Structure 1
């Protein structure tokens, strides 16, 4: 993931809950500088009123979009048109599309074709085509969980944590083997990057771990080795599939 890039954050106000917008914006800053922040919706509708104070607190510009026709999503159209205008302006290096709507799949694909970094944020109900069209996809439920754990016990949040499956473990295993040396060791940083490319929504937080290292350590099939780094005081972490 490219660091310190300028990002355009475009939020589908009709399709995203407002409860954790602060945590969402904090998450976005890990990947770049959100220089453009816009949210789209019909602000005359009472269901969007809960957004209003959050927009001021987070410096997000509301874009009014009336629903001109029944059965058509005007918000989607406005977001897509704005995204293309921003793309051609040359002011950003990437986009963050905040929605759980598969209608943005083609937009994400088009932006990546233009060389943009595309981060998606949405609920776990988001259709897979939109997820895989992004470079990285983050579930809002995971951001919710991180906030709730500050005040609630872990047990009360277990519903937000996925159990790691055999399919997940096989994905990690095959990725390690793809990158391993003759002794089977692979640099964990490269493994994490490759996992992200293979499955944009792969995130250790989905399984209850803040980082990839503790997730790998929790799986008996793998072993970890720390090595000295001549260029830094931080040790390099390597992983391999246990023999036998």
Structure 2
């Protein structure tokens, strides 16, 4: 059963060009029953958002900018989030912003037992990222566009594409996480590995490195060994396990 999500968007801080891919991504995590975007709609810089709101059933919330140079949406978005929290109508929140001012809000919502998914650009400060259960970069959602689609050769991303590198530090992070959930023989269920990676580092995502899924990314690294096993509960799907090579 899908979890009900409240999607709250900082219109002053997020480009409208990402809205289609962003809503598709949110749908993977739950049912967005509340969708609101905050901003000063008298400001011309939000004009591009107006054309996509109706198409995506997003409700605009007016917040006048009383002080020049200040983000007017912060207080309105935070107040609404707390009202929604106390209404107990949703299971989680999706906070769409690259602004660290929402760090405390994310922490408070998680303290109340709600799942918090953050979405923002790669410029987002670390405090907001780590305050979320999961954080997704907007830039990786645009790879569906033909001009930005990563080229894949034998399961590996083309070196020309603009993605993060699989550095020794990243590989060691994965190796340590595998060890954390491995059985006595060193094997770890891939689903458990993925869950723990995101708990340790909310912005960890295989798409940051040019891979749509975690399994092909780990399979591309010589340090790891992957094994496919029969699933007694569902013969159509295999269970994937991974371990560090000795």
Query: In which range does the TM-score fall when normalised by the shorter chain?
Result: over 0.9
RMSD (Å) for aligned C-alpha atoms: 1.5
State the secondary structure of the residue aligned to 1:86: helix
Q: Indicate the residue corresponding to 1:112 in structure 2.
A: 110
When structure 1 is superposed on structure 2, of 192-201 and 227-236 the one drifting more is: 227-236
State the secondary structure of the residue aligned to 2:199: helix
Aligned mates of 1:222, 1:129 — CA distance in 2:
31
Kept in 2: contact 1:40–1:65 (CA 8 A): yes
**5+ unaligned residues in a row in structure 1: which ranges?**
none
Q: Indicate the residue corresponding to 2:242 in structure 1.
A: 239
Count of aligned pairs between the two proteins = 239
Structure 2 length normalisation: TM-score? Answer: 0.94
Aligned mates of 1:240, 1:218 — CA distance in 2:
13
Aligned mates of 1:148, 1:49 — CA distance in 2:
26
Paired residues for 1:217-232 under 5 Å: 217-232=219-234
Aligned mates of 2:126, 2:119 — CA distance in 1:
13
Which consecutive aligned stretches of 4+ in structure 1 deviate over 4 angstroms post-superposition?
none
* 1:201 equivalenced with 2:199 (yes/no): no
**5+ unaligned residues in a row in structure 2: which ranges?**
152-157
Structure 1's 74 and 171: CA in aligned 2 closer, same or farther, altered over 3 A? same
Q: Indicate the residue corresponding to 1:80 in structure 2.
A: 78
Kept in 2: contact 1:7–1:36 (CA 8 A): yes
Kept in 1: contact 2:150–2:210 (CA 8 A): no
Aligned residue among 187, 190, 203 for 1:188? 190
Kept in 1: contact 2:94–2:116 (CA 8 A): yes
State the secondary structure of the residue aligned to 2:33: strand
Structure 1 length normalisation: TM-score? Answer: 0.94
* 1:68 equivalenced with 2:71 (yes/no): no
Kept in 2: contact 1:145–1:157 (CA 8 A): no
Aligned mates of 2:50, 2:71 — CA distance in 1:
21
Paired residues for 1:91-240 under 5 Å: 91-148=89-146, 154=151, 158-159=161-162, 161-233=163-235, 234-240=237-243
